[in-house]
Amino acid sequence: MSSPVIEVNQVTHLFKDHRALNGISFQVDAGTLHGFVGPNGAGKTTTLKLICTLLRPQTGQIRVFGLDVRSDVKSIRQKLGYMPDHFSMYKQMTVYEYLDFFAAAYGHVAKRRDVIVGDVLALTDMEGRKDDLIQGLSRGMQQRVSLARVLVNDPDLLLLDEPASGLDPRARIELMEILRELRRMGKTIFISSHILSELAELCDSVTIIDRGVTKYSGPMDDLLYAQGDRPVFRLRVEVDTEQWGARLPSLQGVEAVEPVEGKPEFRLTVSSPDIDANSMLTQLLAMGVPIAGFQRDQRKLNDAFMDLTERGVRT
């Protein structure tokens, strides 16, 4: 089994009298897409800055690729890319000029830079906008350029702070698909957000923090079990709702089937942590269910998040 890419162990960090982090601990495995979730002010950005060596931990230990963030700063920075929430851009440049500038900063010669920039433009679907001035791009397009800039040095680890902030629904979906492709390429992606449901179908695992304290860290599918609850999946069928309502309770691991009033949909409550979305879909397809839609029911996840973070009550 490979070593974790990120290991955070009992880290505390203060800004004057404010305790931003209070003994948080978690780890991120290689090749995963790990969500880092918490209310605004929970300590997410501070944690990201510590991991990418922009801050030094005051107590506790952080290791990235087995390297200590205090003593191995240069080696760590060569292996990661960091995209902050609020990023500055040279908006008077074209997209190509901007990416070429950062490729040069990483020491690549001109011929090599042209290949690198072409690759990251293709990956972020920005090839058709390479000659556009950045200042004329939408927020979503600027987010893509910023992500392309992070990819210029081909990092093994991506640290993304609220990358979907301010994006319209279409831009969010497109960004998430880019992140899935990066994971398929073997990248480890650590993505922060204050919205759990935004990451529920994207991430393999999640860490939830509140007021600088780790509330949960582990597989996304196990989050509800950690809260003593049962995951629920929402199934939409194409035809003959009554027929499938009678047959669905026979699925392995299904504890309850609840029709959604007025819709050709069912809520399936499962009883075992081994029944994840993939295994449930496999059973449904084997049964011949005419699936029109299938996803985790976000209501339960949102309830778990609210319970872990004291239902949003802030002081």
**pLDDT category, 5, cuts 50, 70, 90?**
very high
Dihedral sign computed on CA atoms, order 194, 66, 63, 123: negative
Question: Tokens 């609020």 identify what position?
Answer: 86
CATH 3.30.70.100 domain range(s) in the chain: 227-311
Least confident of 41-45, 151-155, 236-240: 236-240
Report CA 149 to chain centroid distance, whole Å: 18
Asked if pLDDT for residue 67 goes beyond 60, the answer is: yes
Asked if pLDDT for residue 279 goes beyond 60, the answer is: yes
Q: Tens of pLDDT along 90-145?
A: 999 999 999 999 999 999 998 999 999 999 999 999 999 999 999 999 988 998 99
In what helix (H) or strand (E) does residue 116 lie, and over which residues does it extend?
A: helix 110-123
Q: Round to whole Å and give the CA distance between 146 and 168.
A: 17
Residue 166 CB neighbour total at 10 angstroms: 12
Tokens of 217: 């860290």
Q: What's the angle, vertex CA 54, arms to CA 48 and CA 57, rounded to 5?
A: 75
Q: Which of 207, 228, 204 is nearest to 216 (CA)?
A: 207
> What one-letter code names the amino acid at 150?
V
Q: Round to whole Å and give the CA distance between 50 and 126.
A: 31
Strand order in the sheet with 18-28: 18-28, 6-15, 59-64, 67-68
Q: Which CATH class is domain 6-224?
A: alpha beta
DSSP assignment of 151-203 equals: HTT--SEEEEESTTTT--HHHHHHHHHHHHHHHHTT-EEEEEES-HHHHTTT-
CATH architecture of 227-311: 2-Layer Sandwich (3.30)
Q: Tens of pLDDT along 173-210?
A: 888 899 999 999 999 999 998 888 778 878 989 999 99
Asked if pLDDT for residue 146 goes beyond 80, the answer is: yes
CATH 3.40.50.300 domain range(s) in the chain: 6-224
Whole-number pLDDT of residue 313: 43
Whole-number pLDDT of residue 189: 97
Query: pLDDT above 70 covers what percent of the chain?
Result: 97
> What one-letter code names the amino acid at 161?
D
> What one-letter code names the amino acid at 290?
P
**Among 82-96, 217-231, 272-286, 293-307, the range of highest mean pLDDT:** 82-96
Whole-number pLDDT of residue 315: 39
**pLDDT category, 44, cuts 50, 70, 90?**
very high
Asked if pLDDT for residue 26 goes beyond 90, the answer is: yes
The region that residue 35 occupies, defined by phi over 0 for left and psi between -120 and 50 for alpha, beta otherwise, is beta
pTM of the model: 0.81
Asked if pLDDT for residue 241 goes beyond 80, the answer is: no
Q: Round to whole Å and give the CA distance between 205 and 27.
A: 10
**Among 93-102, 219-228, 291-300, the range of highest mean pLDDT:** 93-102
Q: Which of 227, 230, 221 is nearest to 202 (CA)?
A: 221
